[in-house]
């Protein structure tokens, strides 16, 4: 994951949770896509800012981390369903693994995702934490 | 669909084969299959090879050419087929279609993976490339992690228990004891699984298929051509393949593998068969939860009842529908690109009555091979 343009292309969505919405059928896509799977070429996609609020659909604790995540392990990874209806794969932070449960309300935060080696790049993006108040 | 005959099968021992190179693996399995079919190299019209990641595992791409060359099969056309862990099953399907199209009469289909030439971290990372690299792996997700998410949700929705997951592993290890080609020949208990180290909660080490070197090979022929070489071929009577989203987070429901459901639907329709006709099956148990998803998605049991069926012995040898008599990916081993082909080898051996101590009584069998977290599924139905 060391190509800068490859990261830069996704920066807007990874930093700000910006997805796409089909103006024809209303389907929301995050990560953003350029093509609506329901409407195909009749669909038209526009940018949409997601709320960053949602709930945990499932979760796991990663104990054998991939390269770039060694210092964070063990860490919680989850599928979070946003209030807009889309799911994201994300890390859950600011909570001990034992306290995470299915259905838990969470909100997005901006954090460091991974490091590309000792002298390499540091990648940032969204993670989720338990929701402060609703 | 018209039937395609399997006239020869071969495979290598599965395991950590440090003395054997990538191409040697293929040649060994290929020679065995060609010998079994009683054909000559000059009878072969084409070669298809399932391989997930020669590039990352052994720094070698262009492996179709490498293998045709080292197997002495050049100048016949050779094609590599890739769909992560479903590469082998897809290669079988390409072979079947090339015969049904009338292009070829005799085709060799192999699958091969050499996974122990790199360090474990590299292997783990390579397997994660079967997921969405930019939105799953980038976030810190691993391949076992994805199946752990499915397992946790399956337990939540259907009451599947941690012990039931372990029973899949226990059963498959028991079956592998009678398979001389399997990586493991050790009996394990539910307690062993529950005491093994956590990899990605709730999945533990003994829920996960191992890192394996190995190759498998079959010789396919048109029905007319098959009769020139063998008396009682096993036939592929149905084939199905389906795609889903590459990322788990893009599926409406994560506890049903829709690609499996759709591939099975096509295969059953082509073979004019139903789930209840299947008497033995090799399914994709890369993780214990995978076998439960498979038997549910293939229609052997109701959705949500896979754990209970396993606990009640329905999928054991001697049960209603024996699953993974070879030991499955868990205990036979999972050289990713070879797996889908090895599954066909096992069903052919079962239908021929050559499965030794793990033999079951069956005329109709099925293979089920999955890529990634369920982005691709391939199903084949085989009959005597
Ligand atoms: Zn649309």
Model pLDDT for residues A62-83, shown as the tens digit of each residue: 999 888 888 899 999 999 999 9
Is the pLDDT confidence value at A118 over 70? no
* Confidence label for A13 from pLDDT (cuts 50, 70 and 90): confident
Cα B208 to Cα B193: distance, rounded to the nearest angstrom: 10
- In DSSP terms, A88 is beta-bridged to A80
**What string of DSSP letters covers B179-190?**
-TT-S------H
Task: Quote the pLDDT of residue B98.
Answer: 98
Q: Do the Cβ atoms of A49 and A18 come closer than 8 Å?
A: yes
Report CA torsion sign: A123, A125, A128, A133: positive
- Asked if B63 and B54 count as a contact pair (C-beta separation under 8 A), the reply is yes
* pLDDT tier at A3, thresholds 50, 70, 90: low
Radius of gyration of chain A (CA): 16
Measured between CA atoms, the residue of chain B closest to residue A85 is B252
**Count of C-beta atoms within a 10 Å radius of residue B342:** 30
What domains lie within chain B, and their CATH numbers?
4-118+211-234 (3.40.47.10), 130-209+237-383 (3.40.47.10)
Q: Which of B127, B129, B141, B289 would best serve as a mutation to test chain A binding (most A beta carbons within 10 A)? A: B141
Is B65 catalytic? The answer is no
Q: Give the list of residues 6+ apart from residue B341 with CB closer than 8 angstroms, or none.
A: B11, B50, B88, B89, B91, B92, B109, B110, B111, B216, B217, B218
For residue B181, give how far its alpha carbon lies from the nearest alpha carbon of chain A (Å): 29
- Residue range B293-317: mean pLDDT, rounded: 98
Please say if the pLDDT value at position A134 is more than 60: no
Among candidates B324, B329, B241, which has minimal Cα distance to B280? B324
For the cut 60, the answer to whether the pLDDT of residue B131 exceeds it is yes
Distances (CA, A) of B198 to B128, B145, B147, B368, B379: 18, 11, 13, 27, 31
Assess A61–B contact: CB distance below 8 Å, yes or no: yes
What is the set of domains in chain A, with CATH numbers? 52-134 (2.40.50)
Model confidence band, residue B47 (pLDDT cutoffs 50, 70, 90):
very high
Going by the DSSP 8-state scheme, the letter that residue B116 receives in this structure is: T
| Mean pLDDT calculated for residue range B193-207 | 97
Q: CA-to-CA distance for B169 and B190, rounded, in angstroms?
A: 8
**Interchain CB distance below 8 Å, A89 and B200:** no
Do residues A94 and A129 lie in contact, with contact meaning Cβ atoms separated by under 8 Å?
Answer: yes
Query: How many pairs of residues across A and B have Cβ atoms under 8 Å apart?
Result: 95
> What is the secondary structure of B319-337 as a DSSP string?
SSS-B-TT-HHHHH---HH
As a whole number of angstroms, the distance between CA B177 and CA B186 comes to 6
With cut-offs at 50, 70 and 90, classify the pLDDT of residue A2: low
Nearest to B149 among A58, A66, A113 (CB): A58
B360 closest CA partner among B349, B375, B368, B370: B349
State what percent of residues in chain B have pLDDT above 70.
100
Find, among B53, B96, B60, B91, the residue nearest to B372 by Cα. Answer: B53
- State the pLDDT at residue B124: 85
Nearest CB to B140: which of A31, A65, A86? A65
Closest residue of chain B to A14, computed from CA coordinates: B135
Of B156, B155, B73, B60, give the one whose Cα is nearest residue B107: B73
A41 has a pLDDT exceeding 90: no
Q: Please indicate whether, in this complex, the C-beta atoms of A69 and B153 are within 8 angstroms of each other.
A: no
Q: What gap in Å lies between CA A80 and CA A101, rounded to an integer?
A: 11
**Which of A60, A66, A88 lies closest to B149 in CB terms?**
A60
Q: How far does residue B297's CA lie from ligand 1's centre (Å)? A: 28
CA–CA min distance B148, chain A (Å): 6
| The two three-digit tokens of residue B380, written as one number | 């084949």
Sheet containing A28-29, strands listed edge to edge, beginning at the edge strand earlier in sequence: A28-29, A18-22, A45-49
- pLDDT per residue as tens digits for the range B53-107: 999 999 999 999 999 999 999 999 999 999 999 999 999 999 999 999 999 999 9
Question: How far apart are alpha carbons B44 and B105 in whole angstroms?
Answer: 8
Average pLDDT over chain B, rounded to an integer: 97
Q: At B171, give phi and psi (nearest 5°).
A: -60, -45
Res A126: pLDDT: 93
Write the burial class of residue B361 (CB in 10 Å: 0-12 exposed, 13-18 middle, 19+ buried).
exposed
* pLDDT score at A117: 64
What is the distance, to the nearest Å, from the Cα of residue A99 to the centroid of all Cα atoms in its chain? 20
pLDDT-derived band of residue A120, with 50, 70 and 90 as boundaries? confident
Q: Is B85 a catalytic residue?
A: yes
Cβ of A64 within 8 Å of Cβ of B144? The answer is: yes
Q: Assess contact for B347 and B382: CB atoms under 8 A.
A: yes
| Residue A57 forms contact with B (CB below 8 Å) | yes
CB contact under 8 A, B141 and A77: yes
Burial readout B206-238 (b: 16 or more C-beta within 10 A, e: otherwise): bbbbbbbbbbbbbbbbbeebbeebbeebbbbbb
Q: In this prediction, what percent of chain A has a pLDDT beyond 90?
A: 66
**pLDDT of B260:** 98
**Distance, CA of A90 to CA of B326 (rounded, Å):** 37
Nearest to B145 among A31, A62, A123 (CB): A62
């Amino acid at each position: 994951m060391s190509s800068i343009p490859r990261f830069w292309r996704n920066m807007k969505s990874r930093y700000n949770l910006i997805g796409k919405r089909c103006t024809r059928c209303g389907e929301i896509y995050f990560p953003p896509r350029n093509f609506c799977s329901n409407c195909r070429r009749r669909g038209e996609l526009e940018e949409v800012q997601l709320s960053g609020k949602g709930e945990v659909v499932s979760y796991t604790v990663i104990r054998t981390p991939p390269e770039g995540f060694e210092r964070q392990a063990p860490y919680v990874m989850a599928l979070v369903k946003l209030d807009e209806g889309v799911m994201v794969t994300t890390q859950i932070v600011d909570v001990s693994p034992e306290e995470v449960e299915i259905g838990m309300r969470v909100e997005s935060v901006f954090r460091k995702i991974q490091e590309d080696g000792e002298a390499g790049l540091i990648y940032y993006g969204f993670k989720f934490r338990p929701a402060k108040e609703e | 669909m018209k039937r395609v005959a399997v006239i020869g099968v071969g495979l290598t021992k599965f395991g950590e084969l440090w003395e054997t190179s990538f191409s040697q693996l293929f040649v060994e399995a290929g020679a065995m299959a060609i010998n079994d079919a009683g054909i000559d190299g000059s009878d072969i019209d084409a070669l298809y090879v399932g391989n997930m990641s020669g590039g990352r595992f052994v720094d070698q791409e262009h492996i179709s050419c490498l293998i045709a060359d080292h197997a002495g099969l050049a100048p016949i056309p050779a094609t590599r087929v890739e769909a992560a862990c479903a590469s082998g099953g897809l290669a079988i399907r390409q072979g079947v279609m090339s015969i049904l199209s009338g292009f070829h009469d005799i085709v060799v289909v192999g699958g091969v993976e050499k996974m122990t030439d790199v360090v474990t971290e590299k292997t783990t990372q390579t397997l994660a490339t079967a997921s969405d690299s930019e939105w799953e792996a980038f976030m810190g997700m691993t391949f076992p992690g994805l199946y752990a998410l499915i397992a946790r949700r399956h337990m939540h929705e259907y009451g599947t228990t941690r012990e039931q997951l372990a029973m899949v592993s226990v059963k498959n290890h028991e079956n592998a004891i009678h398979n001389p080609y399997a990586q493991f020949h050790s009996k394990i208990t539910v307690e062993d699984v529950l005491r093994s180290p956590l990899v990605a909660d709730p999945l533990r080490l003994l829920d996960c298929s191992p890192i394996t070197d190995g190759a498998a090979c079959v010789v396919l022929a048109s029905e007319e051509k098959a009769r020139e070489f063998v008396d009682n071929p096993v036939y592929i009577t149905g084939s199905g393949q389906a795609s889903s989203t590459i990322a788990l987070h893009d599926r409406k429901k994560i506890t049903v593998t829709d690609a499996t459901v759709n591939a099975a639907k096509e295969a059953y329709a082509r073979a004019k068969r139903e789930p209840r006709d299947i008497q033995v099956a090799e399914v994709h148990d890369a993780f214990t939860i995978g076998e439960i998803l498979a038997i549910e998605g293939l229609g052997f049991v109701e959705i949500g009842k896979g754990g209970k069926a396993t606990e009640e012995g329905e999928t054991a040898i001697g049960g209603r529908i024996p699953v993974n008599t070879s030991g499955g990916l868990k205990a036979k081993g999972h050289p990713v690109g070879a797996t889908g082909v090895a599954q066909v080898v096992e069903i052919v051996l079962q239908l021929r009555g050559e499965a030794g101590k793990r033999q079951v009584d069956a005329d109709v069998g099925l293979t089920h091979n999955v890529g990634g977290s369920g982005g691709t599924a391939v199903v084949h139905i085989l009959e005597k």
